[in-house]
Amino acid sequence: MQIAQNSVVAFHYTLTNDAGEVLDSSEGRDPLTYLHGAGNIIPGLEKELEGHGSGDKLQVAVAPSEGYGEVQPALVQEVPRDAFQGVDAVEPGMQFQAQTQEGPLMVTVTKVEGDTVTVDGNHPLAGEKLNFDVEIAEVREATEEEVSHGHVHGEGGHEH
């Protein structure tokens, strides 16, 4: 079976940046499984997997616009330290959920200088070209329930 709308795909992958550094990998774990066409993985990778089948190996380069987007400077902001009430030590690398007019947004602390904290709401891989080495392990037809829920269910159904 080939990957198409509403198929369940299981694949192994290694993700690297342009410098060749491994950013993520399924090595030593179960393959990543998703419902094709439901927006469960980044658009550029999903588009490139279409039409492939079990056992296929491919290399995919995904531009930022088809991955986690371009860096949006407006999502980098300086906020007062007292915005982090109840947190004893605010340090670079810490993540918080901020409430915005558009809803909740995960932000990462990038700098702390005195009473000013710089936070970045961009995805950590925004602006990055993503390089995937992929091996497709399995392709099957999704169940009606998986299609209606928009995601894959594990063996024996789901728990939501």
Domain residue spans in the chain? 7-68+125-149, 73-120
CATH of span 7-68+125-149: 3.10.50.40
| b/e 44-66 (16+ beta carbons within 10 angstroms → b) | bbbebbeebebebeeebebebeb
Looking at residue 155, what is its pLDDT?
60
Q: Which residues contact 156 (CB under 8 A, 6 or more apart)?
A: none
User: pTM of the entire structure?
Assistant: 0.82
Looking at residue 160, what is its pLDDT?
52
DSSP of 61-84: EE-GGGTT----GGGEEEEEGGGG
Q: Among candidates 35, 47, 46, which has minimal Cα distance to 6?
A: 35
| H or E, element range at 146 | helix 144-149
Under CATH, what is the fold of the domain 73-120? Thrombin, subunit H (2.40.10)
Q: Parallel, antiparallel, or unpaired: how do β-strands 76-80 and 32-35 relate?
A: unpaired
pLDDT in tens, the chain (160 residues): 999 999 999 999 999 999 999 999 999 999 999 999 999 999 999 999 999 999 999 999 999 999 999 999 999 999 999 999 889 899 999 999 988 888 899 999 999 999 999 999 999 999 999 999 999 999 999 999 999 999 998 764 455 5
